[in-house]
Structure 1
């Protein structure tokens, strides 16, 4: 794979006003994408966004660039990332574009592309767009310029799609659900989905103002959700991130239920229903208790690198239908082509209703092992993980854990840091082992 100048693992992302998230670059990006994608038929690209104030500026720039390349833009307004993946498929669009920086603060933003099938763009298409960005920008003849339109019923279409994944014979009647939308793209979707399935819904994080996305709310900060669940005596709390592709849940006692536990509940339910396709893909950060709980059910489990892109690649490689991360990205491939917070929450709610069990009872099979993470800064140069001393201490600690825990040592991709993670049933032992390794890494 060629070295990318702009595309990361999740599109093009950065701080607004700083390269590459500037109006002039995004205009050129729209043009370059339009030139590469215009080889297909519909000549229309869907553009969705989250609730960041910079979304208005960036969607205008993208529209202008696409129009200059001869492609039309169809705007959905604020919509979750997985909704754009779905709508791109149903409209048979050339591509879908999401303007979002997911769980990041409001001053960041990004441009993420979906193929006409609602999947991440293939590497060769991203590389072709990067190559086109190096060319001088031109403009098609006036008669061939793209137009702009708005898809007025985008939210309604996606709400119906989400509801269609919930078993028709079940209802959320008699359930009180607190829904935290992170002041992001699910604010007008998730509460309506739950209400239309019969639930009593208490909303928080549903008043976006352009700058409060992910601020002390949503999947990355669940304290206000935990407080509200206990205050109103709700059955369950749901927290999405700014673009709606992550889910963290809270049980009726206020306990956090993370992506690993959610993944297990969905996998066990699929196994019971006879619909589990293969096994489950987690990541290097997935808790060992998930692996052990799946093993008890004889469900195969493999780990991918951290990032939903890598989870999806591993799912496709094994032809399995379920994967996810402890951060709450859950991919159920027979329902959507990307991580989808609302659809994951409906899968767990269906299990609660079906078996008349609380979320606390469903999640109890995965008692998360304590994870101790220590970041050790190093001066650059030689990678401490290559040193014999570090390899020796790692081996010694693994023997001490004796299959009842694990260690993960990795170099940060963005800073001169070595991340030391130790996980085991005994929290004190995990802390002691992590400090022992970190000390050797520091001195290597």
Structure 2
């Protein structure tokens, strides 16, 4: 990670951590860099619904145009729409203005390369050097100055592609959606209705400051109640930029990413489509998922936390399904990034094709209770290297006799150690976590 670009782009409070000047300079560098490779760079920009999105969108566009780029503005759209269209419409790169599930006061800038994948680290470091004034680039003059235009047709291309991915007609299904007052408002209802479903929506009135506010995949309680009250077959909750999905079954119970990996992964295996017989997960996936996959004769791989690492493992070996408990699921045959609406369609396709409910398809999956505590420490690296801590964890896990686990890992951005336990009951989870946190306190960490 660089000074500004983390694993998921630049992100921070608008006009404090992330400023208009930063956006202009990012746009300038990308316009100049790709303009060296052909007459002018072609750049696609999308955004979510937060209030500062217009400012950063136009700042990026102005910067790119000032160095000769041709810019197309997709408007409000899911992050994966930018990835998809860059990959298929001859753009040099794509930029998404979004802070995902963060509150509206934050914003972010995520950059995709010409393949729709996250931008290479080397180029991001070069952009950072320009942002800090360590390098200079020329601006365009005369006829070399670039142009920008709105491109709503791009969103139509993306929606038509999504609809082509699903083999099943959704007529007769009653689906509730929580659009998080975010990016999914531009695509989800239309797509599901085009496929024949009856769609009831909440979180569908963005006003610039209500994105993710008590709604969406991070706050699915309203959708759970809505599904029960309206007798829906399924509920779908998206995050602010619509690259994640948390579902709700007809009983109003949550169906997170672990459930989706289990349900769709098993269906892919039954159809002979599970390449390598493999599902890719992160270390934070629930122990119950692993036991369920094993019982179904499916292999799995654990990666570090982050969709970046899931994708790297999938790309390296050609595996077709992987993701995170948060609902960030990647279907590598179709996309190179997570897509909440594509995930929803894959889940709906499985329900329709099998004629079964989520509850029936979840049979054999027991999600273990989980306790997660963040412990602030002076030196997280010293904690992770401590032999005494390893012995404490080993003894506690041995006492679980294979019916649980303990995971201790450092935060990637803060002086924290995350202590997570999974076991048969909440009480056992709490006892396991307390064993570790007591050790850290008693030994001065």
Residue 45 in structure 1 maps to residue 43 in structure 2: yes
Residue 160 in structure 1 maps to residue 167 in structure 2: no
1:380 Cα shift?
4.0
Alignment partner of 2:221 out of 217, 220, 223: 223
The secondary structure found in structure 1 opposite 2:405 is strand
TM-score with structure 2 setting the length: 0.95
Query: Runs of 5+ in structure 1 lacking a partner?
Result: none
The secondary structure found in structure 1 opposite 2:138 is coil
1:434 Cα shift?
1.4
Residue 411 in structure 1 maps to residue 410 in structure 2: yes
What is the match of residue 22 of structure 2?
25
1:327 Cα shift?
0.3
What is the match of residue 113 of structure 1?
111
What is the match of residue 421 of structure 1?
420
The secondary structure found in structure 1 opposite 2:183 is coil
What is the match of residue 203 of structure 2?
205
The secondary structure found in structure 2 opposite 1:383 is helix
Answer with 371-380 or 208-217: which moved more.
Answer: 371-380
1:185 Cα shift?
0.6
1:337 Cα shift?
1.3
- Distance in 2 between residues matched to 1:384 and 1:94, nearest whole Å: 43
- Distance in 1 between residues matched to 2:36 and 2:322, nearest whole Å: 33
Matches within 5 A, 1:392-411: 392-411=391-410
Matches within 5 A, 1:7-406: 7-19=5-17, 21-41=18-38, 43-133=41-131, 134-136=134-136, 138-167=138-167, 170-278=168-276, 279-380=278-379, 383-406=382-405
Change (3 A) 1:364 1:40: farther
CA contact (8 A) 1:11 1:113 kept: yes
TM-score with structure 1 setting the length: 0.96
- Distance in 2 between residues matched to 1:343 and 1:367, nearest whole Å: 25
1:69 Cα shift?
1.7
- Distance in 1 between residues matched to 2:110 and 2:201, nearest whole Å: 28
Runs of 4+ in 1 over 6 A off after TM superposition: none
CA contact (8 A) 1:312 1:331 kept: yes
- Distance in 2 between residues matched to 1:74 and 1:349, nearest whole Å: 33
CA contact (8 A) 2:279 2:298 kept: yes
- Distance in 2 between residues matched to 1:72 and 1:354, nearest whole Å: 44
Answer with 408-417 or 200-209: which moved more.
Answer: 408-417
Change (3 A) 1:382 1:336: closer
The secondary structure found in structure 2 opposite 1:187 is helix
1:149 Cα shift?
1.0
Change (3 A) 1:77 1:381: closer
CA contact (8 A) 1:235 1:252 kept: yes
Change (3 A) 1:148 1:231: same
CA contact (8 A) 2:180 2:204 kept: yes
The secondary structure found in structure 1 opposite 2:237 is strand
1:205 Cα shift?
0.8
Q: CA RMSD in A?
A: 1.5
- Distance in 1 between residues matched to 2:2 and 2:329, nearest whole Å: 27
1:381 Cα shift?
7.8
Answer with 388-397 or 128-137: which moved more.
Answer: 128-137
Change (3 A) 1:399 1:295: same
1:137 Cα shift?
5.0
Partner deviation per Cα, 1:17-47 (whole Å, 9 max, x = no partner): 113x111111111111222232444621000
- Distance in 1 between residues matched to 2:71 and 2:215, nearest whole Å: 32
1:120 Cα shift?
1.0
CA contact (8 A) 1:323 1:331 kept: yes
- Distance in 2 between residues matched to 1:13 and 1:37, nearest whole Å: 23
Partner deviation per Cα, 1:184-239 (whole Å, 9 max, x = no partner): 01113101111111111101111111110000000100011001101101111000
